[in-house]
């Protein structure tokens, strides 16, 4: 079983939105997926209720239970565990980071999110865990200076996963209906980028953690 955790200290950067759509896209690609909701807001527990199907199960758990629950998921044939966390530093977030093969740090292309990403990255590095950044809610191209600044900052911090995720109403509509974007707009841009994103995450996990590089060095997008 592989585990990905969506983490960042910044609220509203898109952790729950992306976790649910990635979980559905992975399910469609043949994974047996289970979501652990470690956010007291329980956004994905609510999402699962709206979904009303058991194909992508969601369970809310406390940090003390994580090892036991993950062992049982692995024994039961789950191949991908997706963890959603709260937008604050907490015991649950630390437990999720420790449990993950790959931590995914979503950030919107604005200064406050980018600063918060750097703090989250520091916490992940202290735990010696692998991570990638994900630029979410990218505005349409007329604001491309903001996007390129976001890309540059996150690449410097080490490891921006592709593709960039656009600000699209499909994400909000899918969340409301308990769906993934691939289920509401099969041929749309959001569905396309989420399928590509799942492929990138999968490749990134297969490759494993890159060898340590000197602090000043930058890495190319994953």
Ligand X SMILES: Nc1ncnc2c1ncn2[C@@H]1O[C@H](COP(=O)(O)OP(=O)(O)OP(=O)(O)O)[C@@H](O)[C@H]1O
Question: What does the binding site for Mg ion look like in residue numbers (CB under 5 A)?
Answer: 15-16, 43
Residue 175 touches which of Mg ion, ligand X, none (CB < 5 to 8 A by kind)? ligand X
Residue 195 as a binder of ligand X (CB under 6 A): the answer is no
- With CB under 6 A as the rule, give the number of residues binding ligand X: 20
Residue 136 as a binder of ligand X (CB under 6 A): the answer is yes
The nearer residue to ligand X, 50 or 71, going by C-beta atoms, is: 50
Q: Least Å distance between CB 134 and ligand X? A: 10
The nearer residue to ligand X, 14 or 159, going by C-beta atoms, is: 14
Q: Least Å distance between CB 27 and ligand X? A: 18
- Sites for ligand X among residues 97-126 (CB under 6 A): none
- Would you give the distance in Å from CA 95 to the centre of its chain? 15
Residue 11 touches which of ligand X, Mg ion, none (CB < 5 to 8 A by kind)? ligand X
CA torsion sign for 101, 2, 92, 166 is positive
Q: Least Å distance between CB 56 and ligand X? A: 16
Q: Enter the tokens of residue 146.
A: 């903001």
Residue 13 as a binder of ligand X (CB under 6 A): the answer is yes
Q: Enter the tokens of residue 35.
A: 């979501």
Alpha-carbon gap, residue 136 to 153, rounded angstroms = 14
Q: Least Å distance between CB 15 and ligand X? A: 4
Please choose, out of 14-22, 23-31, 92-100, 126-134, the segment that lies near ligand X by the rule CB under 6 A.
Answer: 14-22
3 state SS of 190 = helix
Q: Which residues contact 197 (CB under 8 A, 6 or more apart)?
A: 18, 22, 25, 134, 161, 162, 163, 165
Q: Which residues contact 170 (CB under 8 A, 6 or more apart)?
A: 181, 184, 185, 188, 189, 190, 191
Region for 137 from its dihedrals, namely left if φ exceeds 0, alpha if ψ lies in -120 to 50, beta otherwise: left
Give the binding site for ligand X (CB under 6 A).
11-17, 39, 41, 43, 86-87, 136-137, 165, 167-168, 171-172, 175
């Amino acid at each position: 079983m592989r585990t990905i955790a969506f983490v960042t200290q910044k609220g509203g950067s898109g952790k729950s939105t992306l976790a649910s759509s990635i979980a559905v896209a992975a399910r469609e690609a043949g994974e047996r997926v289970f979501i652990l909701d470690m956010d007291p807001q329980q956004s994905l527990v609510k999402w699962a209720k709206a979904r009303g199907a058991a194909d992508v199960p969601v369970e809310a758990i406390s940090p003390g239970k994580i090892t036991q629950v993950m062992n049982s998921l692995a024994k039961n044939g789950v191949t991908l565990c997706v963890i959603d966390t709260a937008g604050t530093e907490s015991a649950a977030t630390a437990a999720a980071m420790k449990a993950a093969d790959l931590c995914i740090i979503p950030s919107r292309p604005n200064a406050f999110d980018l600063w918060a990403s750097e703090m989250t990255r520091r916490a992940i590095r202290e735990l010696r865990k692998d991570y990638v950044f994900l630029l979410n809610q990218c505005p349409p191209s007329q604001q491309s200076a903001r996007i390129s600044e976001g890309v540059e900052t996150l690449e410097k911090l080490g490891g921006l996963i592709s593709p960039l995720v656009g600000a699209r109403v499909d994400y909000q509509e899918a969340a409301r209906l308990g769906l993934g974007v691939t289920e509401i707009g099969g041929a749309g841009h959001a569905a396309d980028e989420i399928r590509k994103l799942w492929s990138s995450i999968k490749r990134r996990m297969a490759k494993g953690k890159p060898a340590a590089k000197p602090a000043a060095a930058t890495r190319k997008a994953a």
